[in-house]
Structure 1
Amino acid sequence: MDIRDLGEDDLDAVLDNRKRAFGPLSAGDAAMWRKMVTPLVAQGRYLGVVDGARLVATARINPYTQWWHGRPQPMGGVAGVTVAPEDRGRGVGRLVMGAALNRCADLGNAVSVLYPATTPIYRSMGWEHAGTRSIATLPTELLRTVAPGEPVKLRRMGPGDAGELVALIGRLHAASRASGPLCYEAETWRVWLADDDDFCYLADDGYVIYRWSGGDIEVDNLVAASEATARALWGLVGTSSSVAQRVTATIAPDDPILWLLRERSKDVVASTRWMFRLVDAADAIARRGYSPAVTASVPLELTDPARPANSGAWLLEVAAGSGALSPGRGGGPALTINGLSALYAGVPAATLRMSGGLTGPAEFDDTLDAVFAAKPYLLDYF
């Protein structure tokens, strides 16, 4: 079997594999899929395993920007991972995921995220459970109780606003010191913003994208940097309460809407887990943001069988909101790449010790928790 970059001529075979892995797409969804992935093919972001002329497995690396404690970095979003049913159990999945991991590095992505259909294969390659995508169900009538604040100017948003939206998202996540959320490239946003079924509104310091779904309202993204704009955007969604009974909304773990509602006795929130991996450990540490209140120096031992350059003795140093990972002498806590990836995303040291991702001296555990404190989330599914 061979691994190669896929071209546009392979997309029919890719779509067939996708159908066999995840079920059929409607004609409209298949057309949208082609529109979204064709540029990625030209960028070397679609990989395939072939057996002669037959396509056996695929993996796609989406180009995203992801924020960690308010600091952006390029992230490889691994998606479209398929293995033909007749070839499962032959190690083909590990083969294509190893190629995807190396391609993330080639593309300059020091970190990677994926939504797993199954955990074991991805965990065996170094990805680990890190954060959530949470969808809250809210009675639409409750949104009408969100009292307006200062007047906020809202306007409809379309494909021509893609560049402005990308810049706004960057400002919003930096200001809130967010960990986990991503942003598409402007070209992708232009495609999404052209969808007539989505209602998109823009303010100077926030935006919302929502749609009708089965008689109810579905909010994809609603992010704001001020109380007044948060009230205005949620109030806009709430104007549909005379027709829609429920709103399902993708929210941050501590989203302001949960505190703006007049009545909140029980949260109805469904969460989907996503997995995270450091591709280049030193680069990922340098690109992350940290609390300027934390200063630390911790020796670490790291093991990464799939990316040996990450393995070895390191010294972690954090000061003034920045971090560095440089070659060290060892003698400190020992982490698997899964453990360090989870720690980077705010999973507590105590949890990692009890699940095998962290061993060795415990004297630095509180320091590591302070360095990497985070509650990561995603608003988007890919």
Structure 2
Amino acid sequence: MEIRDVTADDLDAVLDSRKRAFGPLPASSVEPWRAMVTPSLAEGRYLGVFDGGRLIGTSRINSYDQWWHGRPLSMGGVASVTVAPEERGRGVGRFLMRGTIERCAELGHVASALYPATTPLYRSLGWEHAGARSRVTLPAEALRTLGARDGGVKLRRMGPDDAPEVRSVLERVYAATRASGPLGWEERITRQWLSDEDDFAYLADDGFVVYRWHDGDIDVENLVAGSEATARALWSLVGTASSMATTVTAAVEPDDPVLWLLRERSYDSVKQTRWMFRLIDLAAAVGLRGYPAAISAETVVEVDDPQCPANSGTWRLSISAGAGTATAVTAAPGGEVPRLTIGGMSALFAGVPTSTLRRAGLLAGGTPGADELLGTAFAARPYMLDYF
């Protein structure tokens, strides 16, 4: 077996592999799929496992910014992972994902995330469960009546040329809300997304919404709002479909303001799709992440990462004034220090509580004081609005 970049000549085989893994694409979706993936070929973002010239596995690495406590870092979103059915069970997936980790590093991504079809393979290579994409179903009529209290929010239709403004909105809102987990996309991808004629998109100064009709109801693909007035305006706009649609299903934050804006709320109908996270360059990721500005702390941890040896060793973590550093040290300074696999360190980075990590066997050694310090510094409630 060998791993090499997928080329345009391989796309028919890639499509066949994709159909066998995920089911057939509608005929109308084949050309848009080709248009979407073709730019990734020249960028070295589509990998194939070949055996004697025959394609037997694939993975694609999407380029994202991912915000962590309000600061973006470069994240490789792993998607389209396939292994030919007749080749499963002989290590193709593991071989492929080891190559995917190496390629993420070569592309400059300091972290990686994916939506797993199965946990054991990815966990064995360092990804760990970190957050979720939460989809809530709400009554359309309840949204219609929200309205904007001050009535001063101006909304306009949004199209492909608004891609830079979408980026600007995301940067401002995610920084202000200290968001952890949500994604920003390349302008090319944003333009393509906003070109879909089946989507309806509206823009405000500090927010936007993209939604579509689905089986007679409304499906909100993305809604971001930086203020109460904008949240009310965007959600009530979606709710104006209530004369035809009974429900609105939307991807939301764990503590999305819409759940506090609704007049009535007794239970939430929420479906979660879990995603996994992995640090590719530990030191760079720690340096790019944001942290609570009031925290000033320093501690030492030991990390083991067989796939990325540069992440292994003893690290001094220093947090101050909202910024952090990870500095390699030759030995731990006296006393037992917290020990983590790279999966445990990735989960800690993503805000999984130290009490959870310890009871799950992902954190060992150290002291209660170190646990509390680490848990406070890396506290987060990570989420994604997008599925890839």
- Range 132-141 or range 168-177, more displaced: 168-177
Do the aligned residues in 2 keep the contact of 1:116 with 1:274 (CA within 8 Å)? yes
TM-score, normalized by length of structure 2? Answer: 0.97
Indicate the residue corresponding to 1:323 in structure 2. 324
Mapped pair 1:225 → 2:231: no
Partner SS for 1:364: helix
Q: Distance in 2 between matches of 1:45 and 1:298?
A: 37
Letter in 2 for 1:297: E
Q: Distance in 2 between matches of 1:308 and 1:143?
A: 51
Indicate the residue corresponding to 2:160 in structure 1. 159
Deviation, 1:23, is: 0.6
Deviation, 1:131, is: 0.2
Deviation, 1:144, is: 2.2
Q: 5+ unaligned residues in a row in structure 2: which ranges? A: none
Indicate the residue corresponding to 2:351 in structure 1. 346
Mapped pair 1:90 → 2:90: yes
Letter in 2 for 1:364: A
Mapped pair 1:334 → 2:335: no
Partner SS for 1:143: helix
Q: Distance in 2 between matches of 1:327 and 1:148?
A: 51
Indicate the residue corresponding to 2:61 in structure 1. 61
Indicate the residue corresponding to 1:283 in structure 2. 284
Deviation, 1:148, is: 2.0
Q: 5+ unaligned residues in a row in structure 1: which ranges? A: none
Q: Distance in 1 between matches of 2:107 and 2:147?
A: 46
Partner SS for 2:94: helix
Map Cα deviations across residues 221-277 of structure 1 (whole Å, 9 max, x no partner): 111111111110011001111110000011000000000000001110100100000
Do the aligned residues in 2 keep the contact of 1:145 with 1:262 (CA within 8 Å)? no
Q: Percent sequence identity over matched residues?
A: 62
Letter in 1 for 2:262: L
Q: How many residues are treated as equivalent by the alignment?
A: 382
Partner SS for 2:202: strand
Indicate the residue corresponding to 2:366 in structure 1. 361
1:26-41 to 2 correspondences below 5 Å:
26-41=26-41
Map Cα deviations across residues 141-200 of structure 1 (whole Å, 9 max, x no partner): 111231322221100000111111112111111111100000110101111111110000
Do the aligned residues in 2 keep the contact of 1:300 with 1:313 (CA within 8 Å)? yes
Deviation, 1:140, is: 0.7
Q: Distance in 1 between matches of 2:31 and 2:192?
A: 12
Letter in 2 for 1:30: V
Indicate the residue corresponding to 1:74 in structure 2. 74
Indicate the residue corresponding to 1:13 in structure 2. 13
Aligned-CA RMSD value:
0.8
Structure 1 segments of 4 or more deviating over 3 A?
none
Letter in 2 for 1:289: G
Letter in 2 for 1:129: H
Q: Distance in 1 between matches of 2:158 and 2:194?
A: 7
Letter in 2 for 1:379: L
Indicate the residue corresponding to 1:120 in structure 2. 120
Q: Distance in 2 between matches of 1:288 and 1:33?
A: 33
Deviation, 1:332, is: 1.3
Q: Distance in 1 between matches of 2:359 and 2:296?
A: 26
